[in-house]
Structures are given as C-alpha cells and as structure tokens.
DNA sequence: TCAGAAATGAAAATGATTTTCATTTTCACC
DNA sequence: GGTGAAAATGAAAATCATTTTCATTTCTGA
C-alpha cells in the first residue's frame, strides 16, 4: 500500500460512497494532494486487486468505486427534480444473498434503485 | 420500427442472448445485411427507448443488448464470465412500490441487479 | 552512497460511443 | 409519374474514459 493508494483511499472515505476515477482525480486536485490521473487509475486497480474497494458501472459505462464493507443503502430518485432519498432495505440485502446462493454465486454485490415522480413535482 | 431496427432485431433473435453493438455490426456485415455502425447504435437506442431490448454492461464497460421478454425481471450476473440468469422477484416489486408510496412518489420504476462470481468461475 | 526496482505522470494510443453533416430513401400529396 | 419535406443513413470526425508507453523521479536495501 503506497502513498498514492492512501490518498485515493482518503478520498473514498471522505466521499462515503461511490466515486469514479475522474472524480477522485478532481477531488485530489482541489485539495493539495494532487497526483496524476494515471496514478489514480493504477491505485484503484491495485485496491481492487487487494479487494479493498468495490466497483460498479454507471449507466453511461463509467466505472465507479467505493470502499468495501461500507454499509450501503439504496436510492429513491425523482425523475423530474432529481431529489434523492436514501433508503435502507434489509429485504433487498436478504433477497440478493438468497438469490445468489440459490444459484451458487459468491462474492455477491447488488444494486437497486427506485425512481419516480416526487410529491412536489 | 424501420428496416434497420428489424435487421438488428433479427440478429438479436438469432443470437438468442446478449450481443454488443459492435458484435451486431460484425454479424450483419458477414451476412448480406450490411448496415452502418452508426445505424446499429441508433437502432439499438431506439429499441431501448421502445423497451424492446434490454441492456447491461460487461465488465469492460461495453454495453450489451438482448431482446427482453414482456415480463419484468432482474439479473444475476457473473462478474467473471458474464453468465446471466434472469430472476423473478415479487419481493422487489412490492418493496419498490412500498418505498415509493411511503415517500409520496408516483410513476414508479426500479432497477435491481445482483452480481458475483458463479459456480464455474 | 549507489544500483536496481518501483512509482510516477505527461503524452500518445485505444476503443466504444456519439455527433456532424451531406446524401439517400421514404412517403404523402398533387 | 413527379415533387418536396421529413426521416433515415453512414462515413468521418469528435468525445471521453481508460490503458499503454516511456522517460524521469523516488525508494530501498546492501
């Protein structure tokens, strides 16, 4: 675990959720922790290999990362105004585990998002 | 639904599973159905809008598409080999409805996906 | 201190996807 | 059949995340 990886980890901690490589890079630039974009990618790859972070893809295909083992939540998003509400969902966690083990999957993760039009809109 | 979209649909039918835009393009070139890559992308986008096809991302970020049945389902995806299993989930449907109505949302939709490493990998 | 290894980052390369724009096709109407 | 506006097409250029290259800098351990 070298210096760059620690900086990237620091950002992911502060963010407390998902961030893309580009976002991590931007955030480091804003602070006085600037490291090169290439190094950000390398650090993320290395953290992935060490299973310290977790990765997903946004709808647009951009990869996003977060610290493993953070308790995660889901989102309820308004399609119109963008308001986002965090929701906990034990039901979902259990469902994902159950489905995965039914089919012999391991190292399981999941995503779930609800979207609609909120009261105000 | 125009001619290009029909050709793309034809390929997806023959493939009987997921294919990327680039793959659809290649397959059309091999047959005597050649259409431009741009048109393939446009046709896929249009089919997506019409909810005739379904999309996912490969690990490398490439988008893959397939015909979707009319019944709504979720996916269990192997991060390693890409194997995809369709799963039904009444629990999720109910959860989404419940959460949304709790917060006064309407016109509700949702996404949910489970990913992990399958038995074979 | 010194040499070799590892880390770094700027710039170029890659590859999927999107945009641009000039051309072609379709289609309703005369 | 002929006409023209609207839609479809595709080649080429642009975009953008990510990876590779490679010359330079920093570590590390003897």
Pair type for strands A74-78 and A106-117:
parallel
B118 confidence band (pLDDT: 50, 70, 90): confident
Chain A residues touching B109 at Cβ < 8 A = 114-116
**Distance from chain centroid for Cα A29:** 20
* CA neighbor of B103 nearest in space, from A75, A118, A77, A91: A118
Residue B99 clears pLDDT 90, i.e. is over it:
no
Known binding residue A72? Answer is: yes
Cα-based angle A67, A12, B60 (whole degrees, multiple of 5)? 65
CA distance A93 to A33: 36
Using an 8 Å CB-CB cutoff, list chain B residues near A85: 103
Query: Which pLDDT score is estimated for A80?
Result: 64
Q: Which residues surround strand D, with CB < 7 Å?
A: A 3, 20-22, 37-38, 41-42, 45, 61-63; B 2-4, 34-39, 42-43, 61
pLDDT at A79: 64
> What per-residue confidence (pLDDT) applies to B26?
93
**CA neighbor of B84 nearest in space, from B16, B23, B18:** B18
Nearest CA distance, B32 vs chain A (angstrom): 31
Q: Which residues of A touch B100 (CB under 8 A)?
A: 76, 114, 116
Q: B4: distance to nearest CA of chain A, Å?
A: 24
Nearest residue on chain B to A105, alpha-carbon basis: B118
Mean of the pLDDT values across residues A94-111? 85
Please answer yes or no on whether A106 and B112 come within 8 Å at the CB atom: no
Do B112 and A101 form a contact (C-beta atoms < 8 A)?
Answer: no
pLDDT in tens, B21-71: 999 999 999 887 889 999 999 999 999 988 889 888 888 889 999 887 645
Closest approach of chain A CAs to the CA of B34, in angstroms?
Answer: 27
pLDDT digit string (tens) for A43-97? 999 999 988 998 888 888 999 998 887 666 787 877 666 677 778 777 788 888 8
A24-41 pLDDT per residue, tens: 999 999 888 889 999 999
Does the structure show a pLDDT above 80 at B13?
yes
Decide if A90 contacts A71 (C-beta within 8 A). Answer: no
Q: How far is CA A37 from CA A22, B47, B105, B114, in A?
A: 7, 36, 40, 30
Give the model confidence (pLDDT) of B68-97 as tens digits.
Answer: 764 567 888 887 776 778 787 777 888 888
What chain B holds in terms of domains, given with CATH numbers, is 3-67 (1.10.10.10), 74-116 (3.30.1490.190)
Q: Is there a contact between A117 and B109 if contact means CB atoms under 8 Å apart? A: no
Distance CA A56, CA A58 (A): 7
């Amino acid at each position: 675990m070298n210096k760059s990886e620690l900086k990237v980890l620091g950002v992911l901690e502060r963010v407390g959720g998902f961030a893309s490589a580009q976002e991590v890079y931007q955030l480091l630039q804003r602070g006085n922790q600037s490291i090169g974009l290439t190094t950000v990618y390398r650090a993320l790859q290395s953290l992935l290999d060490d299973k310290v972070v977790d990765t997903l893809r946004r709808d647009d295909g951009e990869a996003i990362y977060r610290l493993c083992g953070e308790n995660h939540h889901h989102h309820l998003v308004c399609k119109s105004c963008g308001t986002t509400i965090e929701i906990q969902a034990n039901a979902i966690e259990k469902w994902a585990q159950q489905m995965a083990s039914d089919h012999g999957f391991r190292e399981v993760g999941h995503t779930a998002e609800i979207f609609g039009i909120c009261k105000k809109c």
